[in-house]
Amino acid sequence: MSKVQRIYANNPDYKAQLHALLSRETDTGEDVQHLVADILADVKANGDTALCAYTAKFDGWDCTAERMVISRERMEKAWLDVSDMDRQSLQLAADRIKAYHEKQVQTDWDYTDDAGLTLGQKITALDSVGLYVPGGKAAYPSSVLMNAVPAQVAGVEKIVMVVPTPNGELNELVLAAAFVSGVQVGFAVGGAQAVAALAYGTETIPAVDKIVGPGNKFVAAAKRQVFGVCGIDMIAGPSEIAVVADGGNPEWLAADFLSQAEHDEAAQSILITTDEDLADKVEEAIEQHLAVLERAPIARASVKNHGALIIVNDLDEAAEAVNIIAPEHLELALEDPDALLPKIKHAGAIFLGHFVPEALGDYMAGPNHVLPTNRTARFSSPLGVYDFQKRSSVIRATPQGVAAIGAEAAHLAHREGLQCHALTLELRLQHQGE
């Protein structure tokens, strides 16, 4: 393969090169947006008929309302049919994900202020969520766990799943993961049409309050367009990793570098190091791994088009680069990662030291692997229990409380030209003097 692109912090146009590296075309063009809009409108108007027509067209099987349903009993059968090691691994992952996310559960609180008002917050779970589980180039039972378990921990009453089934073939491990993580019912449909079904509802698929889970560009476009009809978690783009290293095993670092490249041709892998000799050795190890990886063609395309080795002068420059990149996954493969950690502001998930590849987080560590991509870690966070709970403000006031702050509130209402707003307060203040 051709050499991996190198960017040097000493170069006068370093920042321009870095921003050019990050300007991947990850959003959907107008052609995709228009196609998706037509699909959404069709499913909204025609329900199961349109949904099954698109499923037959794109996934290649004879979809009917009855055949698209994946019952809880069917999930249990898959759970019993997979291997003992499959069950052991899925159960361990589910337990660890649950234990981590239980720390995120929010609770009600209140306090009484000096004016005598009692102010607080009430936490309630969403009524229903729809999990989009990607299919196609690979099947992801881990995505089922990462989406369903936090929803269950949050107290969501109804958890449903949609999963594309090319040629009508169900993935048994995905179904087993759905069973162990508490999914109540699934539907063998995917793509923009499945997002439409979850947003608007059909005769068979119930409308949900929020859609979560990653998908291809058509799924991303559909989620963007249905937002407002229901909630969404985020617009997920191609996966990405940044590895900061000041030493370590080049073979390990190269494998970590490629761990996201094998996902998708549009994925991005970046190594940031102060040691150009280490970069040389990692690049050599990358080629050695690519010679044997089953998904090498995908990884090669990713590395060629989007990969980079960034040579910086010191770890402060490394931290600065990380905060510009705002990567989905960040590995601090350093002898003292804790020294750099306070300088990191923007990253979806951070892996500290030489013995924690991001794959540990993908499957088993416990934190969520549904993470902000395409620099959105600057303003968003990993999926969590927070995404399945909502907050209501609670205000209680006594007559004395209204008397303490009501006149100023009425004044502001008048200043905004909202006379009846002010009147609601003035009537109560007047009552105080009677």
Residues with a catalytic annotation lie at 328-329
Q: Tell me how far apart the terminal alpha carbons of the chain are, to the nearest angstrom.
A: 87
Helix 217-226 / helix 30-59 crossing angle, nearest 10 deg: 110
Of 169, 179, 213, 180, the C-alpha closest to 195 is 213
Contacts of residue 100, defined as CB under 8 A and 6 or more positions apart, other chains included, come to 365, 366, 367
H or E element that contains 414: helix 399-415
DSSP 3-state of 68? helix
Q: Determine the Cα–Cα distance for residues 231 and 210; give it in Å rounded to an integer.
A: 4
The DSSP annotation for 171-238 comes to: PHHHHHHHHHTT--EEES--HHHHHHHHHH--SSSPP-SEEE----HHHHHHHHHHBTTBEES----S
Least Cα distance to 24 among 398, 331, 306 occurs for: 306
Nearest to 317 by CA among 281, 275, 350: 275
- 8 Å CB contact between 278 and 250: yes
Which residues neighbour 70 within 8 Å (Cβ) at sequence distance 6 or greater? 161, 163, 170, 175, 178, 185, 186, 187, 188
Residue 13 tokens, joined: 């146009």
Q: Where are the alpha helices (DSSP H) in 60-201?
A: 65-68, 72-81, 84-102, 141-154, 172-180, 191-200
Residue 196 has which token pair? 């439409």
Q: In 291-392, where does DSSP find H-type helix?
A: 296-306, 315-325, 337-340, 358-363
Taking the C-alpha atoms of residue 282 and residue 276, their distance in angstroms, rounded to an integer, is 10
Report residue 126: phi and psi, to 5°.
-65, 150
CA distance 272 to 267: 17
